[in-house]
Amino acid sequence: MSSTRKQRKVTVQTFINKKAKGEKITVLTAYDAFIAGLLDKAEIDSILVGDSASNVLHGFDTTIPITMDIMVAHTAAVARGASRALIIADMPFLSFQPSVETAILNAGRFLKEGNAEAVKLEGGIEMVPTIRRIVECGIPVMGHIGLTPQSIHRFGGPKVQGRQEKSRAYLKESALALEEAGCFSCVLELLENDIATEITESLHTMATIGIGAGVNCDGQVLVINDMLGLRPEGFKPKFLREYANLTPIIVEAIGKYIDDVLNGRFPAEDESY
């Protein structure tokens, strides 16, 4: 990697330029400063401080319980750890749905207190008035359509979207409306490959970032814990590729530590004062 490339700050304009040039966009989640620093070092384009923190860090079954205060704290930590990647904060459940004013104030908190550079919010065409106003306030917005986990109880589980004509029409209409409202990018989650392709090709400035939405999206996102193998046993959706399996490595290291302490091998002489 050239040093010029290393120093170039990723902005929302980078997303738009990459889409125009047909260059893929890379996104991963992070929730703390250390991992954010590693992602920056590896030159990821963008870090999404996802409300998946609710599941993967806080142990909840859904993303519903996580609060604004917790999400702002995670965002601020990530922003302290990364300087190159574009930092996008995920707006938690009920931080933007109740009213446009609530949405603007909470989106603004992510920039003012969390040092985020953009926010993401779930929902299709019905969110257009809210998105339009947030964008008008100078806050870049990433949309999120398909399976939107904050509405998991309405979907009745993590079901692939775009299988029925009604759902396909809603997704296509929503994508165009979100682009028109000013979103610089949009997550497509758990979508049939053909509809994700059709949506991606129909858009001019809004980059699609897929998770379980096939290879033709403008970019891809995964939850960092999942792709590093730091996930509960049995959780292995088809779209998830594990790039490392850290769970057994961590368990083995902890086991060795326990063994060493129990047997008086830790700390050694040169680890003592």
Please list the active-site residues.
189
d(CA 78, CA 253): 26
User: Closest approach of Cβ 203 to ligand KIV, in Å?
Assistant: 18
Q: One symbol per residue from 203 to 242: x for binding ligand KIV (CB under 6 A), - otherwise; what is it? A: --------x---------x-x-------------------
Residue nearest to ligand KIV (CB): 50
Q: CB 56 → ligand KIV: shortest distance, Å?
A: 8
Given the complex with ligand KIV, which of 235 and 266 has the nearer CB atom?
235
Output 78 or 187, the one with its CB closest to ligand KIV: 187
CB of 51 to ligand KIV, least distance (A): 5
- Stretch (H or E) spanning 210: strand 207-211
Candidates 170, 187, 214; CA nearest to 51 is: 187
* Span interacting with ligand KIV, options 46-54, 93-101, 103-111, 196-204, rule CB under 6 A: 46-54
Tell me which of 25, 31, 47, 50 binds ligand KIV, using CB under 6 A.
50
3-state SS of 45-72? CEEEECCCHHHHCCCCCCCCCCCHHHHH
Give the range of 43-51, 130-138, 233-241, 246-254 binding ligand KIV by CB under 6 A: 43-51
- Indicate the burial class of 124 (C-beta count within 10 angstroms; 0-12, 13-18, 19 or more): buried
89-128: contacts with ligand KIV (CB under 6 A): 90
Least gap, CB of 209 to ligand KIV (angstroms): 7
Cα 9 from Cα 20, distance rounded (Å): 18
β-bridge partners, 219: 25, 209
Amino acid at 10: V
Rounded Cα distance between 8 and 26, Å, is 15
The two structure tokens encoding residue 184 = 């610089």
Q: Are 35 and 81 contacting, i.e. CB atoms less than 8 angstroms apart?
A: yes
Contact 18, 218 (CB under 8 A): yes
Question: Could you tell me which stretch among 50-58, 69-77, 168-176, 196-204 binds ligand KIV (CB under 6 A)?
Answer: 50-58
From the CB of 260, what's the least distance to ligand KIV, in Å? 36
Q: Which stretch binds ligand KIV (CB under 6 A): 49-57, 72-80, 110-118, 231-239?
A: 49-57
Return the ∠ at Cα 70 (arms to 64 and 76), rounded to 5°: 130
The site for ligand KIV (CB under 6 A) is made up of 29, 48, 50-52, 90, 187, 189, 211, 221, 223
